[in-house]
Every structure is written in C-alpha cells, then in structure tokens.
C-alpha cells in the first residue's frame, strides 16, 4: 500500500532538496494526489479535483507530462498546496530565470456549449493582463485549435483575467505574488468531450486521442516559453517530454515481451514437410492440392490471450507508450486467433487483418514487373551455386562483425531439416538444409537476413524497451522493405528476384479472389513462365495454414520505403529495432526524450561509398521498374 504523507514543512523541504540536486521527484499527496517532476524543468502542470467523484480521465490529461501536480480541491489543504507550489516555483525560477504554471480544469459553462456539437473541443485560455508570455499563449491557442475530435475542429479563445484559478477554488499563487516570484500563470478551462454530459459516461478511446493532441499543444507552449523566457534552448519541443517511466511501463514491457517470445508465429504457420508435399504434388501431375503438416503449437492461444489482457497497460501514464503497447496487444490478439484458426478458411481473414489486402496500384506494378523482366533471365547463373554449409559460414562471418561491437551477442546460425529456405527467428538465422543459391546472390541474402533482420533484433535488444527487439505491431512490412532495399544497395537485386516478389503479390491477389491452390500454381507456371518448383514454392507460401497474404509485404514495403527516401527520409532511424513506418515519428520522439538510445550497429553496406550514390539516385526519384537497369550500367 502506498504511504501518503501530509504536506508538512519537512515534506516540502525534502522535495526542494531533490529539485536543487536535479533529482526526480515522485510523491503521493493526500486524497490520492500526486507530484511528479522528471527533472529540473521550467514549467508545472496542475489539476485540482473539485470533488472526489471527478473522472480519473481528466487528471490523466497531464499525467504524460514531465512535470505535473494532481491534488485535491479540498479547501482545508489549499494553503499547504500553495506553499508547496510556491517553493517549487522559486527553485525553478532560480535555475531557469523564469517559470510557467499551467492549471487546467473542466469548464462549467454548460449553457455556452449548447451551440456546439457534443464532440467539439472548446478551450478558454486565461492569462494575466500585460502578460509578457504572449507568444507562448499564442502558440497554445494555435495548437489547441488544431485539435480534431471525430472531425470536429476545436475552438480556443484567450481571456484576460484578474484571477487565474478553477471556479470555487482559491489561487495557489496570486498574480501579484506570481509577478514578484517571476512566474507566468496560464489557466485552461476545457470542455470534456470524452464524457457524455447527460449520463457522465466516459469515452476512453476519445479521451486517448484527446490526450495525445492536448499534450502536443502543451509541449509547443512550453517549448516557446523555454526559448523566449529562460536560459535554456532545447533543440526540439519533444526534448521537454518525459524521460523517467513508472514501474507499470517496465512491467507491461516485460510481460508483452515474454508473451511474444513464447512462440514464433511464422514458424507455427509454415509447413515442415515441403519436400514431401512437392513430391506428392508431382505424383498427382500438379492437379491435386497437397496436404501440409505443421508444428505442434507450443502454447494454448486462449490462455495466452488471457495473459495478454492482464498486462497493466492502463496503469501507464505516458500516452505515447500506451499507443505503442496497445497496438502490440491488439496484434498479438489477432495472431493468437489465427493460430486457433490454423488450417481453416477463417485463417485467411485473420491474415487480411494482419497484413492487409492487395491494392490496385501494387497489383498493377507487379504485373508490369512480370512483363518487363523475362522469365528466362540469365542474371542469376545456375552453374555456380552455394549450399547451406557455405551460406552458414558466410553468415557467421557477418555475425562476427557484429560481435566486435557487441561482445555479449549470443545469436547463432542453425542449419535445419524442417526449414525450406531462410528465416530469422528471435535473432537466430535458420537455414534450410537443402538450399542452393546462385553465388552472386549470396551477399544480397546475407544483408537481407543478417544485415537487416538479425541486426535490428540486436539493436532492439540494446534499447530499454523489449518491444524493440520482439517487434512492434506491423513491423514486418518495413522490415522486409528495408531487407529488399539492402539487396539493391549491395548490388544483388536482380530481375529474377523482382519477378519473384511480384509473383507473390499476384498469388496473394488470386488467393483473396478465391482461386484454388492448383489454379494459382498454373497461373504462375503457365501464364508467367515460372518453373514448376518455383511456382509450387510461391503457391505453398501463399496458401500456408489456410491462406497467408504476408508475402505481398516485400514489394509493398519496398515501394513505401522508396517513397519515404524520395520525400527526404533517412535510413538511420529504421535500424533502431523492429518497427513499422507508422512508428518512425514515435521513435524520434522517444529519442528526443532520451528514452531510446542511438542504435549501436549499422549495416556494413552503409559504409560503402557506392551506397550513398545509390541513395541519392533514390532521393531523385529512381523507381522500382528502373532499379535493375540502373544497377547494370
């Protein structure tokens, strides 16, 4: 049970001592209050409950900030609260030269809201007369107006007041005292669009969206204030964000990582008898769908779901991390459902939820690639090839390159009978014992599997959040796009390889349209000129477990990655761990906040002189259809 201390003089002095030493302050206050100050910062957000029945969603609006105070509105405790706030303000003013207090409350002007839609956010910003923080207040107003909830744009107005405090509560610092101390006070009365005004029923999903947008507006205000009124010059508004995390974050991270590590989804949905199935398909003259065998499940998906929703995500205070972890939770839920549905028609619909369908533009590009490059291309010589042993030896050399930077690196290379190709599982490279690859493709495959998939696993392990190495929700598309790009950058992307990726898209499209295994095989073999074994392999991968559309993400991921580079995006943030394109801005935010570190490894090919030349060509708009021609020049 958390011990609650009264706001005594000794309590205040202890807090002041911690702040002077730039230590984190996290204290429980009477009546469920809380003080959290991450480090020395030139601002403090305050929320006082007008009554103990107040919704906890409102106080959560500021709990993601690096410096906040949540307290009771009980009048008996306001005097000591005032002393505490003044003490904090004086210390921070000495450090920064100025200090800002932003207090929020729920507006009680119900009549004035009647003209608005129930979901339109309305803000009233209170400021002192002749306030010198006008640019910061203007920034707050501008960014509050950019909030949209259910397509309703927020309304925000600035009002000059002689008293900045919630209705029916005394000021914690009067405007006269604030001027003497050197403190700027802003009040924000807001309309709680995340609550039904008639029934007082809360809408947690609307609140989650509202909180993220409201927090952004606050940070821009603090950034402007810090630049214009203090001695500090942060490089980015996100640098003023929270760095320290509550225990619930680390507990949720550990539990989710343990659940992710308890099974390998791709292994569980991939057949273990590919060679036997191929021989059966041959015997039946390519006219009968083979029966595939799968590994026994190492988990009970229903029990795993129960554990999944016991993870305490709701106790995390940081809205950015809540967003990441919720996405992970939902994706794991879908994967468990797919494991339950393995081998049934329902599996395909789970795959569509997880990996999406086939866009018209992607299908059109795939057919253009299949038409442009001959099915009998000689760009991959079959006369000289490497086997599993030779490939494993080269992969181990690449692993040794990583070990020079990270001696504790323990992942390995395994040659397996139950694998038909190449696969990275939890940072280990698994090699099918029967593989054979053209020699000129070896470096491309090494950088695809080791230089991308293994490397991002290692980099993810170097981060404090385990989700970065087990893989954030939807990470596969960016991972495979990055892996295929690496093939191009080391000069190993061929027309044959592009045709294979395009054929996977066509196969997935046919699957979704209801084609049978034999029909897809015949389309690839007869209409697109793929050899029988290659056609079988593509079809097998597409129909595994009941229908898996994952293989379409290779070409889709490459298309999106080239667009990202063309728009000025850099590759460095993409190596931090296993992330999706939608997480790039979040990763950058966490890096600005110093929650995440710079990745310890970059792929070896990023140091090659020709890599930058190729990236410059991509920035200038070189597209997929011209990649191979340009490579051969």
Query: What is the rounded CA–CA span in Å between residue 59 and residue 107?
Result: 14
Q: Considering only CA atoms, which of 251, 248, 250, 320 is closest in space to residue 66?
A: 320
To 10 degrees, the CA torsion angle through 124, 130, 135, 141?
A: 10
Distance CA 219, CA 139 (A): 10
Long-range pairs of 291-297 with CB within 8 A, sequence gap ≥ 24: 292/540, 292/544, 294/268, 294/269, 294/270, 294/342, 294/343, 294/545, 295/267, 295/268, 295/418, 297/263, 297/268, 297/339, 297/342
Orientation of helix 553-566 relative to helix 360-372, angle to 10° = 100
Q: Is 172 in contact with 165 (CB distance < 8 Å)?
A: yes
Backbone angles phi, psi at 197, to 5 degrees: -70, -20
Distance of CA 269 to CAs 339, 451, 538, 547, Å? Answer: 8, 25, 15, 10
The whole-number average pLDDT for the span 156-168 is 93
Question: Residue 110 pLDDT more than 60?
Answer: no
- Output DSSP code: residue 452: I
Residue 469 near residue 463 (C-beta atoms within 8 A): yes
Say how far apart CA 423 and CA 544 lie, in whole Å: 15
User: From CA 403, how far away is CA 82, in angstroms rounded?
Assistant: 56
| Cα distance between residue 103 and residue 345, in whole Å | 55
* 87 sits in which H/E element: helix 78-96
Q: pLDDT over 70 for what percent of the chain?
A: 95
> Which residue ranges make up each domain of the chain?
9-240
- For position 115, what pLDDT does the model report? 65
pLDDT at 386 over 50: yes
Q: CA geometry: angle at 250 spanning 246 and 255, to 5°?
A: 140
The mean pLDDT value of the chain amounts to: 92
pLDDT digits (tens, 9 = 90+) for 431-472: 999 888 888 899 999 999 999 999 999 999 999 999 999 999
C-beta separation of 428 from 414 below 8 A: yes
pLDDT confidence of residue 633: 43
Kindly report, residue by residue over 289-335, the tens digit of the pLDDT.
999 999 999 999 999 999 999 999 989 999 999 999 999 999 999 99
pLDDT band for 47, please (50, 70, 90 cuts): very high
Distance CA 484, CA 505 (A): 15
Going by pLDDT thresholds of 50, 70 and 90, the confidence category of residue 381 is: very low
In three-state form (DSSP H/G/I as H, E/B as E, the rest C), the secondary structure along 310-365 is: CCCHHHCCCHHHHHHHHHHHHHHHHHHHHHHCCCCCHHHHHHHHHHCCCCHHHHHH
Q: Per-residue confidence at 52, pLDDT binned at 50, 70, 90?
A: low
- CATH pick for 9-240 out of 3.30.70, 3.30.310, 3.40.630, 2.50.20: 3.40.630
E strands in 50-161: 67-72, 99-106, 122-127, 148-149, 152-153, 155-160
The CA distance from 441 to 438, in Å, is: 6
């Amino acid at each position: 049970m958390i011990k609650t201390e009264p706001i005594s003089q000794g309590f205040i002095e202890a807090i002041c001592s911690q702040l002077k030493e730039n230590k984190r302050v996290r204290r429980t206050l009477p009546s469920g209050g809380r003080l959290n100050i991450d480090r020395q910062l030139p601002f403090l957000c305050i929320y006082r409950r007008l009554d103990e029945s107040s919704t906890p969603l409102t106080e959560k609006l500021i709990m993601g900030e690096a410096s906040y105070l949540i307290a009771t509105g009980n009048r008996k405790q306001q005097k000591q609260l005032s002393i505490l706030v003044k003490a904090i303000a004086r210390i921070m003013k000495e450090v920064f030269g100025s200090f800002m207090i932003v207090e929020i409350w729920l507006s009680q002007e119900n009549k004035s809201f009647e003209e608005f839609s129930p979901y339109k956010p309305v803000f009233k910003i209170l400021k002192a007369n002749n306030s010198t923080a006008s640019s910061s207040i203007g920034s707050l107003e501008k960014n509050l107006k950019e909030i949209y909830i259910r397509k309703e744009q927020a309304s925000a107005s600035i009002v000059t007041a002689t008293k900045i405090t919630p209705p029916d509560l005394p000021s914690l610092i009067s405007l006269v005292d604030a001027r003497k101390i050197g403190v700027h006070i802003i009040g924000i009365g807001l309309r709680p669009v995340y609550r039904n005004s008639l029934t007082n029923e809360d809408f947690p999903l609307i609140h989650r969206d509202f909180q993220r947008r409201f927090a952004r507006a606050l940070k821009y205000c603090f950034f402007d204030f810090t630049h214009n009124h203090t001695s500090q010059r942060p490089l980015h508004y996100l640098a003023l964000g929270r760095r320290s995390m509550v225990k619930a974050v680390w507990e949720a991270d550990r539990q989710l990582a343990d659940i992710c590590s308890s099974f390998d989804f791709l292994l569980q949905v991939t057949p273990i008898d590919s060679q036997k199935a191929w021989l059966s398909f041959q015997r039946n003259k390519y006219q009968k769908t083979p029966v595939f065998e799968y590994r026994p499940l190492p988990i009970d998906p229903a029990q795993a779901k129960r554990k999944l929703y016991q993870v305490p995500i709701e106790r995390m205070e940081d809205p950015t991390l809540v967003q990441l972890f919720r996405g992970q939770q939902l994706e794991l839920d879908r994967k468990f459902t797919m494991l339950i549905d393995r081998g049934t028609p329902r599996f395909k619909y789970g795959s569509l939820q997880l990996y999406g369908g086939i866009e018209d533009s992607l299908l059109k590009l795939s057919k253009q690639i299949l038409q442009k490059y001959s099915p009998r291309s000689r760009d991959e010589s079959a006369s000289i090839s490497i086997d599993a042993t030779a490939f494993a030896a080269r992969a181990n050399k690449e692993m040794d390159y990583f070990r020079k930077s990270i001696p504790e690196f323990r992942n390995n290379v395994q040659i397996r009978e139950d694998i038909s190709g190449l696969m990275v599982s939890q940072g280990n490279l698994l090699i099918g014992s029967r593989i054979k690859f053209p020699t000129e493709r070896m470096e491309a495959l090494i950088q695809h599997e080791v230089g991308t998939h293994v490397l991002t696993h290692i980099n993810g392990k170097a981060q404090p959040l385990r989700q970065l190495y087990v893989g954030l929700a939807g990470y596969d598309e960016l991972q495979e796009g990055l892996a295929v790009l690496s093939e191009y950058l080391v000069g190993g992307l061929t027309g044959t390889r592009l045709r294979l990726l395009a054929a996977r898209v066509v196969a997935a499209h046919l699957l979704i349209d209801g084609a049978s295994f034999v029909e897809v095989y015949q389309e690839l073999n007869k209409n697109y000129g793929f050899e029988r074994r290659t056609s079988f392999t593509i079809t097998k991968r597409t129909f595994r477990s009941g229908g898996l559309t994952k293989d379409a993400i290779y070409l889709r991921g490459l298309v999106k990655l080239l667009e990202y580079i063309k728009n000025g995006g850099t590759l460095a943030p993409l190596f931090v761990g296993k992330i999706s394109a939608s997480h790039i801005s979040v990763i950058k935010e966490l890096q600005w906040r110093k929650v995440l570190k710079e990745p310890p490894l970059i792929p070896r090919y990023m140091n090659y002189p020709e890599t930058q030349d190729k990236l410059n060509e991509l920035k200038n708009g070189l597209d997929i259809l011209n990649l191979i021609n340009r490579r051969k020049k």
